[in-house]
Amino acid sequence: MSLAQLQEVPPENMILLVGPPGSGKSAFCEQAILQSLAVDRPIIYITTDCDPSRVEKTLKEMGLSEFEPGVLNFIDAYNETVGLPISDRPDTVHADCASLSSIGIAISKLQDRIGKKGILLVFDSLTSPYLLSGPEIVRFMRLTLSRFTGEGNSVLACFDEGSGKEEDLVTMMSIADGVIKIETEEDKRRMNVVKHPRLNPTRIEVPITPFIGLEARIFDLSVLREILQAMMLGGKSGVRSEVGDYVNLFWPNLAHWSGMLWDPKRFPMMTYEMNKEDPPSLFKMSKEDEAVKRAYIPWRMRLLMPFIPKNFSKVKDMKKLMKTLSSGPLAKERVGIMEYLEGSSKTDEHYLRVHENSDCWGFENIGAPIASYLPPLIAGMCKGIEYWKGIERDWNAVETKCIGLGDPYCEFKLVPGEIDGLKDSLEKDSPIIESIHNRLMDHLMGYLLHGKPLVERPRLGSDVYIHPVFHAMAFPAMAGERYQIALRMGGAKAGKEVGEHLMEAGLLEDEAVKRILNLLDHCKVGKISMDETIRIRENCESSQTKLFITKIKEPSCFFTTGFLNGFFYAVKNQHVKETRCIAMGDPYCEWEFR
C-alpha cells in the first residue's frame, strides 16, 4: 500500500490523524488536499493555528495549480481567537476556536454554498478547540462531524498526541471510522494504520528531512546595546523608566505554562535550549563587536576576566564562579537564592541548590521537576565564559530535587557535555501540565475574587527582574512561528477561563474588566490605560521582543494579545486586535476592540 492510497479519505468516513506536534500531520493533510483537488473534489479546510493564506502558500509551494473558484474553502478559526486581523477573502468564513457552535455554523454555511456532496473536510487541528473547550470536542465529533459524513462527505481531522487526557483521546479514536498514528525518528516518519474502513492494519515508513532545530536569532545590535547597558547599569531608570524593571513572577509563569499546553513535548526542550544558548551567543557577539562587549561585560568584569579560570571542571573554580554570579547578577534578578554544594561536587560534576526558585514557587508537590530558567542559564554561562577563554565545549544541567517534587528547595547537577535523563526530566505529561494550569487558575481567582496574594516568597518577595521575564515570554517567540502560536493560543485559553470564572462568580462585565486591568497593574505588566482602546506602555512582553524579531515588523505581543482576546470574548463577546506595538517602534502597545 502506498502513502497516496492512505491519503485518499473514503466518502462517509471520518479519519483521525494522531501524532505529537511536528510529526507531519499538517503535511499529510496538505497532500490529501492536493489529491482531492486533482479530481475536483471540493474542500473545506478548518485552520485553528494559522492564517488560511499560510496554508494556501504551502499548497502552492507543493504544486497547487489553478482550480475552479469555490473548490478550496477555508474556515478561519484562528485569527479571531487570538486577536489577529481578519482577512476579507471570498473563500473564507470566520469562526472562533473557543466556540464549537460557531465552527459548526461555519461548516453548514460552506456546505450550503458548495451545494453538493462528496466534500472533504480537513480539520487542522482538533487540539486547539479541545484545549479551549475540553471534552465538548467529543460531543462535537459525535454530532457535527458524524452528521457531516453521514450526508455523503468525508472528514480528515488531526489531534496532537500528549495534549489532552488519554481517556479523551481514546474516546475520539473510538468515534472515528479510521485512525492513523504518526511517529517520527531522525530520518523517517512511520504511519501506523490502527483501523481503517478499507485497509487492514499496517505500517508505512517514509523518509524525512531531519529536524534542524531552532530558527536562527536575528539581533538588532543598536537595541541590544541599549538594553544591555540599562540592565548592567540598573537603577530606577533601567529598561522601563516608568514602571521599573521588576514584574510579579506570576505573569511570566502564567505565560510559560499556558504556552506549554500546546506543545508539551517540544516546548520545554525549546525553552531549555534557548535559555542555555543566550549567554554563549552574547559572549560570541562580544568578541565580534566592541560596543556589545562594553555593554555586556562592564569594565570591572573585563579587568577580572584574565583571572577567571580557563575552565570550570574543578570544584574550586566552579565555586568562585557561583559566588560571583549569586552575589552579582542573579541576586539582582531575584530568581532564587543559589548555593554551591562543594561537599557533593567533584571534578566535572557540580551540584547547586536554589531556595525560593521563581520557576517553582507556588507549585509545591505538583509531581514533576519544573525549573526552566536557572539550570540552563548556568550551563550557558559556563559554556559562554569558556568560549571567551578559548575552549569550545557544551554544558548541561538537570534537576535532581525540586519544589515541584515536594522537596523544600531545588537542586540541579551541572556537567560538561551530555547529561543523562535531561530530555525525560523536561518533557511533561498532559496531567502534570493540567495540574499546574489549575494551580495557576486557583491562585489567580483567589487574587481576583478575594484579594489573596498571587505568590509570595519569604525572603525574595513576589517580583523578579525583567530579564527572566524576557526568557519566559520573548524567547519562545524567537524560536519560530510554532511557539508564537503556542503563546497566542495559551493566552487565549487563560484569558477565556478567567473571564468565565468571573462571570460565574456573579461579577458585572465592567467590574470584571476593572479587576483584570488591576491584575495587569499589580503584576507590573506595564503602564495600563483603557478608554476606546487598551494601551500598555513599557509592556514587559514586547520591551525586548523588538531586540530579536527584526525579520518582520508586526505586532508581537503574542501572549498578552491572546489573553486579552480570550478574556473580552468571554466577558463582553468582543475581540481585540493589536494595532500598535513597541516591537514595531511604537511608543506603546495598543489594542482596538472589534
SS3 433: helix
% of the chain residues with pLDDT over 70: 90
Q: Which of 20-29, 288-297, 414-423 has the highest mean pLDDT?
A: 414-423
> What is the per-residue pLDDT for 332?
87
CA atoms within 13 A on the CB side of 283: 21
What whole-number distance in Å separates Cα of residue 483 and Cα of residue 269?
12
What whole-number distance in Å separates Cα of residue 396 and Cα of residue 402?
17
Exposed / middle / buried, residue 68 (Cβ in 10 Å: 0-12, 13-18, 19+): exposed
Fold: same for 213-244+473-594 and 265-427: no
Among 220, 217, 207, 349, CA closest to 270 = 217
Pairing mode, strands 43-47 and 14-19: unpaired
What whole-number distance in Å separates Cα of residue 465 and Cα of residue 129?
35
Model confidence at 53: pLDDT above 60: yes
What whole-number distance in Å separates Cα of residue 246 and Cα of residue 575?
29
8 Å CB contact between 389 and 311: yes
What whole-number distance in Å separates Cα of residue 381 and Cα of residue 54?
38
8 Å CB contact between 555 and 580: yes
Summary mean pLDDT of the chain: 88
Mean pLDDT of 19-24: 86
* Domains of the chain by residue range: 3-207, 213-244+473-594, 265-427
Give phi and psi for 116, each to the nearest 5. Answer: -155, 170
What whole-number distance in Å separates Cα of residue 371 and Cα of residue 272?
10
- Architecture of the 213-244+473-594 domain: Alpha-Beta Complex (3.90)
Count CB atoms within 10 A of the CB of residue 423. 13
Model confidence at 210: pLDDT above 50: no
Angle at CA of residue 591, ends 590 and 594, nearest 5°: 155
What whole-number distance in Å separates Cα of residue 299 and Cα of residue 240?
24
Mean pLDDT of 2-28: 88
Encode burial over 321-359: b for 16+ CB neighbours within 10 A, e otherwise.
bbeebbeebbebbbbbbbebeeeebeeeebbbbbbbbbb
**CA 30 centroid distance within chain:** 24
Exposed / middle / buried, residue 508 (Cβ in 10 Å: 0-12, 13-18, 19+): exposed
What CATH number has the domain spanning 265-427? 3.30.1380
Model confidence at 591: pLDDT above 90: yes
Mean pLDDT of 156-166: 91
Among 353, 365, 455, CA closest to 403 = 365
Out of 3.40.50.300, 3.30.70.270, 3.40.50.720, 3.30.420.10, the CATH code matching 3-207 is 3.40.50.300
What whole-number distance in Å separates Cα of residue 327 and Cα of residue 33?
59
Q: State the Rg of the chain over Cα.
A: 25
What whole-number distance in Å separates Cα of residue 134 and Cα of residue 128?
9
Model confidence at 548: pLDDT above 70: no
Model confidence at 307: pLDDT above 80: no
More confident residue, 592 or 40: 592
What whole-number distance in Å separates Cα of residue 475 and Cα of residue 545?
8
Which segment of 75-79, 88-92, 540-544 scores lowest on mean pLDDT?
Answer: 540-544
Max CA-CA distance within the chain? 78
Stated pTM of the model:
0.84
Q: Which residues pair with 350 in a beta bridge?
A: 414
Q: Which three cell numbers stand for residue 492?
A: 487565549
Which residues fall within 8 angstroms of residue 403, CB to CB, at 6 or more apart?
A: 357, 360, 361, 363, 364, 365, 409, 410
What whole-number distance in Å separates Cα of residue 421 and Cα of residue 442?
31
Angle at CA of residue 182, ends 180 and 184, nearest 5°: 165
8 Å CB contact between 494 and 254: yes
More confident residue, 176 or 198: 176
> What is the per-residue pLDDT for 22?
81
% of the chain residues with pLDDT over 90: 61
Among 55, 125, 62, 59, CA closest to 97 = 125
**If you search the block for the grid coordinates 503556542, which residue do you land on?**
486
Mean pLDDT of 344-365: 97
Query: Looking at residue 198, what DSSP letter applies?
Result: S
Mean pLDDT of 557-578: 93
> What is the per-residue pLDDT for 291?
67
The stretches of 115-165 forming alpha helices (DSSP H) are: 127-133, 136-140, 146-150
8 Å CB contact between 556 and 570: no
8 Å CB contact between 155 and 149: yes
> What is the per-residue pLDDT for 478?
76
Mean pLDDT of 135-149: 95
Pairing mode, strands 43-47 and 72-76: parallel
Mean pLDDT of 138-160: 96
Mean pLDDT of 4-23: 89
CA atoms within 13 A on the CB side of 291: 8
* CA dist 42 → 154, 222, 443 (Å): 11, 51, 48
